[in-house]
């Protein structure tokens, strides 16, 4: 009866019942699905669909309100700089990682010498990864380096099998191929464990125990509200969220953390993955585990514009990690949506619109130099910089970046993949 009351309370407020504590406004009533409230009503953001009618992209401030997360403000960026003792990554400086949950708590603990671990992942739906897929990995590598902490990377090949018209073998094959690109991002083999669900679920009784614990504490009603599942969905989809949740708990990895279940997890991911972790944070205290903290990124825009997320199945929607210098040049010149004017004369006179220009957006992701980026913005806005010239800057930024990635990927042997994917102790001090 008391349990029932507590569960109803939870259902209504989105929070665990604590005697004497009213639900806090900040944490209350997280959005329960794609159509649950009116804020940012033009934008759809869930793990399977990201769309907006706005050319500048999704309204991220509204998304923070809808999802009940917190903005990464200048104060937090400054604090990260102070705690890790390094200049903040450009993704932080430029608001590409723009939202968080409990990051202050992670830093509080770190200052008291209580460390944490990182968890990120990828759904391997094809062999081909594009530059947008690198965003969480580039940032996670930076976090690993500056905080000197262990990292687990989940490849949800089981999810892709459940959602797509692919065989188990195909999805597992994509997981292995994607792992090569992930390793090429430069992760420290002594501090990183990469796993395929199809392999690791069947290799770790501890991982499965956490999956079952989560599955016991989430109802169909809840996943229906959070993910929009229906009665026609297969039972694999319905129970999958528990598998994406489980790596948030340190005892899912006994070869790394032993039986410790109190090590805080920090998850850098694109904001569309937040529903999984809202659910995880809801369950965590009920099974005796700490809630994972999160850092959310914006979406990487398609070449055609910021209205949609890129599609791995449309070769012209992005720059792929396998593209040649010539392909990069052609794609940028031919497909990148421009904020420039129709004629050179008009452009010189009125200037371009950097806010909707995909080349400029890509440069905010990949051009390291803040001053150079600001100058490009000013020149483009004033009309001093033409669209063709802006495209050339992007092409010359991407070509060496992709070539270097391809060079590093070539060095990734099957043996190295196997090492990264073998459950084993990692080297770290917590």
Q: Which of 206, 355, 379, 389 binds a copy of itself (CB under 8 A)?
A: 206
Does residue 158 bind a copy of itself (CB under 8 A)?
yes
Q: Which of 69, 126, 204, 387 binds a copy of itself (CB under 8 A)?
A: 204
Q: Tell me how far the alpha carbon of residue 269 is from its chain's centroid.
A: 2
Q: Which of 201, 315, 384, 417 binds a copy of itself (CB under 8 A)?
A: 201
Residues in contact with a copy of itself, shown as a per-residue x/- string from 89 to 128 under the rule CB under 8 A = ----------------------------------------
Does residue 49 bind a copy of itself (CB under 8 A)?
no
Q: Which of 37, 73, 236, 334 binds a copy of itself (CB under 8 A)?
A: 236
Does residue 261 bind a copy of itself (CB under 8 A)?
no
Does residue 176 bind a copy of itself (CB under 8 A)?
no
Half-sphere exposure of 214 (CA within 13 A, CB side): 30
Least separation in angstroms between CB 160 and a copy of itself: 11
Which stretch, 238-246, 304-312, 340-348, 388-396, contacts a copy of itself (CB under 8 A)?
238-246
Q: What are the strands of the beta sheet with 49-51, ordered from one edge?
A: 44-46, 49-51, 305-309, 301-302
Angle subtended by helix axes 358-366 and 370-382, to nearest 10: 170
Q: Which of 13, 105, 239, 327 binds a copy of itself (CB under 8 A)?
A: 239
The residue (of 203 and 304) whose beta carbon lies closer to a copy of itself is: 203
Q: CB atoms < 10 A from the CB of 6, how many?
A: 14
Does residue 48 bind a copy of itself (CB under 8 A)?
no
CA distance 109 to 132: 32
Does residue 282 bind a copy of itself (CB under 8 A)?
no
Q: Which residues contact 264 (CB under 8 A, 6 or more apart)?
A: 105, 106, 109, 114, 116, 117, 290, 292, 293
Does residue 392 bind a copy of itself (CB under 8 A)?
no
Three-class SS state of 270: strand
CA distance 84 to 147: 6
Three-class SS state of 413: coil
Least separation in angstroms between CB 167 and a copy of itself: 9
Q: Tell me how far the alpha carbon of residue 230 is from its chain's centroid.
A: 25
Torsion of CA 223, 228, 230, 233, to 10 degrees: -80
Q: Terminus-to-terminus CA distance in the chain, angstroms?
A: 41
The residue (of 160 and 391) whose beta carbon lies closer to a copy of itself is: 160
CA distance 298 to 69: 13
Tokens of 257: 């953390």
Q: Which of 231, 368, 371, 414 binds a copy of itself (CB under 8 A)?
A: 231
Does residue 155 bind a copy of itself (CB under 8 A)?
no
CA distance 283 to 216: 10
Which stretch, 71-79, 182-190, 232-240, 321-329, contacts a copy of itself (CB under 8 A)?
232-240
Does residue 16 bind a copy of itself (CB under 8 A)?
no
The residue (of 110 and 208) whose beta carbon lies closer to a copy of itself is: 208
Does residue 245 bind a copy of itself (CB under 8 A)?
no
Does residue 420 bind a copy of itself (CB under 8 A)?
no
Does residue 162 bind a copy of itself (CB under 8 A)?
yes
Q: Which residues contact 407 (CB under 8 A, 6 or more apart)?
A: none
Does residue 149 bind a copy of itself (CB under 8 A)?
no
Does residue 203 bind a copy of itself (CB under 8 A)?
yes
Q: The tokens 């992701």 sit on which residue?
A: 365
Does residue 274 bind a copy of itself (CB under 8 A)?
no
Q: The tokens 């369950």 sit on which residue?
A: 283
CA distance 238 to 219: 9
Least separation in angstroms between CB 203 and a copy of itself: 7
Residue 335: in which H helix or E strand, if any? helix 325-335
Does residue 272 bind a copy of itself (CB under 8 A)?
no
Least separation in angstroms between CB 252 and a copy of itself: 10
Tokens of 253: 């990895």
Does residue 152 bind a copy of itself (CB under 8 A)?
no
CA distance 55 to 356: 6
Residues that bind a copy of itself (CB under 8 A): 158, 161-162, 168, 198-199, 201-209, 212-213, 215-221, 223-224, 229-236, 238-239, 241-242
């Amino acid at each position: 009866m008391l349990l029932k009351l507590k569960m109803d309370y939870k259902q209504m407020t989105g929070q665990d019942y604590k005697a004497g504590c009213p639900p806090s406004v900040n944490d209350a009533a997280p959005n329960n699905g794609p159509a649950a409230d009116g804020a940012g009503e033009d934008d759809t953001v869930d793990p399977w669909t990201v769309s907006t009618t706005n050319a500048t992209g999704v309204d991220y401030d509204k998304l923070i309100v809808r999802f009940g997360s917190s903005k990464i403000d200048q104060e937090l960026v400054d604090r990260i700089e102070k705690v890790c003792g390094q200049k903040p990554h450009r993704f932080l400086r430029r608001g590409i990682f723009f939202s968080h949950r409990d990051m202050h708590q992670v830093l509080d603990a770190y200052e008291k010498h209580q460390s944490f671990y990182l968890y990120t992942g990828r759904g391997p739906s094809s062999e081909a990864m594009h530059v947008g897929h690198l965003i969480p990995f580039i940032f996670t590598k930076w976090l690993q380096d500056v905080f000197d902490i262990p990292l687990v990377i989940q490849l949800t090949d089981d999810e892709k099998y459940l959602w797509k018209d692919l065989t188990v073998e195909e999805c597992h094959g994509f997981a292995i191929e994607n792992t090569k690109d992930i390793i090429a991002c430069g992760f420290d083999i002594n501090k990183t464990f990469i796993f395929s669900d199809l392999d690791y679920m069947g290799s770790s009784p501890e991982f499965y125990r956490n999956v079952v614990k989560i599955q016991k504490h989430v109802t169909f009603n809840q996943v229906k509200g959070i993910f929009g599942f229906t009665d026609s969905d297969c039972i694999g989809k319905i129970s999958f969220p528990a598998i994406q949740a489980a790596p948030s708990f340190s005892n899912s990895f006994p070869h790394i953390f032993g039986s410790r279940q109190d090590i805080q997890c920090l998850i850098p991911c694109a904001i569309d993955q937040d529903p999984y972790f809202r659910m995880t944070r809801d369950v965590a205290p009920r099974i005796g585990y700490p809630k994972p903290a999160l850092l959310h990124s914006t979406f990487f825009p398609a070449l055609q514009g910021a209205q949609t997320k890129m599609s791995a199945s449309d070769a012209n929607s992005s720059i792929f990690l396998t593209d040649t210098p010539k392909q990069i040049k052609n794609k940028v010149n031919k497909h990148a949506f421009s904020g420039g004017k129709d004629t050179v004369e008009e452009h010189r006179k009125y200037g371009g619109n950097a806010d909707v220009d995909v080349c400029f957006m890509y440069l905010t992701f990949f051009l390291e130099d803040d001053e150079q980026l600001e100058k490009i913005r000013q020149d483009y806005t004033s009309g001093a910089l033409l669209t063709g010239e802006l495209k050339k800057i992007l092409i010359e930024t991407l070509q060496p970046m992709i070539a270097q990635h391809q060079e590093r990927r070539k060095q990734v042997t099957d043996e190295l993949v196997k090492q990264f994917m073998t459950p084993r102790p990692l080297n770290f001090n917590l």
